[in-house]
Structure 1
């Protein structure tokens, strides 16, 4: 008879890679919406580029994986059932928000699903407040820096190119935006694929009993997570691309360049510091930032408000959903 613990580990890996795949098509918009909206890239070329660079980015760091994998709940609490419950919760919320075209945060869906399942498994005392506080810092500061960074860069570009004809400016930034879109796709892979690496390694730690210095993200996990995200990105998430790229603010290549460059820089820095941030939050805020430099009415604040509402409700809904899924599975299986 197969080892139940090994079967549970296989289920975790399958669910985690499914989450990463869904994250890829759910968050494709983060990398390519602005370049598609400005018609710098066709949707097909933009998705292909994003898929490749998502993989490249995913291979370049594990600091966020460490935060997610052992910084929210301690390894001794992170049972297979807890990880399975968190993944089911996060996947469910991702699919709901994808269906309705709401650009919510896959990252925070997963993290707060872990929180909810952790509370159900071992109480509030099992949550590592230091890791959770880093998540809240990223949640608050990354959209702020995305907005202000894009706003400031846009003002600087306006000042530099004030005397240049609009047609020339559009031609210059039509080329430069290809680079900024590539930078955004790379940073998206770096930031988002690491969450999946973290939860798979969390499950491996539970199976093998890793603690302390033994906790490390294996190479096969990095490659699997990178591949799953790249495949998901190749599928594309057209509902959210429409919301992000076409409904928040009218964009020209110079705006797209500023938004992508600012957002990608914020994500890059946070990922290197091990702070889990939402690529959705950052690029949404950056798009609003560049739109605000034209005039406040250039931003469709109704759509922007809907996006912000999705950010806010993701935290409690995924916490509750993670708690409910764990409680239900525990009741059905009798497993901790």
Structure 2
């Protein structure tokens, strides 16, 4: 196997993680920044540390990504398929970042993998795609919205006699913990997705076997690239989540973050399902906002976000298939 092709593919995988930081790391801290519970600098530092910690908490999601969605392709063609999958995911990430849409980096990656695999004649495990990607794609936003609504309703009932100013001040402090939980869950989920891709590249290159533990250097570089991406470009997505869907206050931010973090930990540990941080936190914000009044949520913005969810996988798949065609003609 050409070492150069392996190095290039891993570098592109890490760049995908960097673009993922534009989207999903921003999601993890957007609510805390928008409610002024944390300053942007403090939120970024906290997200960096917790992403790194989350990356070391498990490997179930990485295993699903590397083994459960497509058959591991072989040789130079296999590396070309993986490269094309990443190009499809990165292209869609950059497009949606430019327009400030919190589209799912996870589903861009999965769409890229399926599109490149189909173009390259590699088997797609449709049962795995359905069970680990499509079903969670529909279920997690519904759970996020309902859970966000219920958590916020419980908070409103529990603190109904509390002094509003003191309660907000207390929840602003509590958001430090809930935001840390979101960032930890994001590291657990999204760092592992890129780990799975890097492990697949190493297996194709015959450097690693699937039975081997994930190398420590892979965990570290994936987590670090997530944090760098957050710092470089996360502000557009933060504005959409923190301001355009609903004006959040600290109790609402705490409820949304607590809901999102709980769902991410549950799916990672119990189901090993690579769910979208974007879907979970966005739907949780909608559910939380609906407790105030239904028209407090800017449903027009929410509709555009949901539309982005549905077109992400097909769009990334088409780009990836086209990218494989170019790679095949030029190099294979």
Please give the TM-score of this superposition, normalised by the length of structure 1: 0.94
Equivalent residue for 2:276, pick from 246, 269, 278: 278
RMSD: 1.5
Structure 2 residue 320 is the aligned partner of structure 1 residue 322: yes
For residues 80 and 188 of structure 2, the distance between their equivalents in structure 1, rounded to whole angstroms, comes to: 27
- Runs of at least 4 residues off by over 6 Å: none
Verify the 8 A CA contact 2:22 2:237 in the aligned structure 1: no
Where in structure 2 are the equivalents of 1:91-130 lying within 5 Å?
A: 91-122=90-121, 126-130=123-127
For residues 224 and 253 of structure 2, the distance between their equivalents in structure 1, rounded to whole angstroms, comes to: 27
Equivalent residue for 1:290, pick from 276, 279, 288: 288
For residues 272 and 231 of structure 2, the distance between their equivalents in structure 1, rounded to whole angstroms, comes to: 26
Aligned residue number for residue 217 of structure 2: 220
Superposed CA deviations along residues 239-297 of structure 1, whole A, max 9, x for unmatched, are 11101101101111000000000011101111222101110010000000000011100
For residues 182 and 244 of structure 1, the distance between their equivalents in structure 2, rounded to whole angstroms, comes to: 17
For residues 191 and 256 of structure 2, the distance between their equivalents in structure 1, rounded to whole angstroms, comes to: 22
Where in structure 2 are the equivalents of 1:11-160 lying within 5 Å?
A: 11-76=8-73, 79-122=78-121, 126-133=123-130, 134-160=132-158
Superposed CA deviations along residues 315-334 of structure 1, whole A, max 9, x for unmatched, are 1101111111111211222x
Matched residue count: 328
Verify the 8 A CA contact 2:37 2:172 in the aligned structure 1: yes
- The alpha-carbon deviation at position 27 of structure 1 amounts to 2.1
Superposed CA deviations along residues 143-200 of structure 1, whole A, max 9, x for unmatched, are 1111111111111111111111211210111111111011111111111111110111
Where in structure 2 are the equivalents of 1:230-269 lying within 5 Å?
A: 230-269=227-266
For residues 52 and 230 of structure 1, the distance between their equivalents in structure 2, rounded to whole angstroms, comes to: 8
Verify the 8 A CA contact 2:140 2:275 in the aligned structure 1: yes
Verify the 8 A CA contact 2:91 2:316 in the aligned structure 1: no
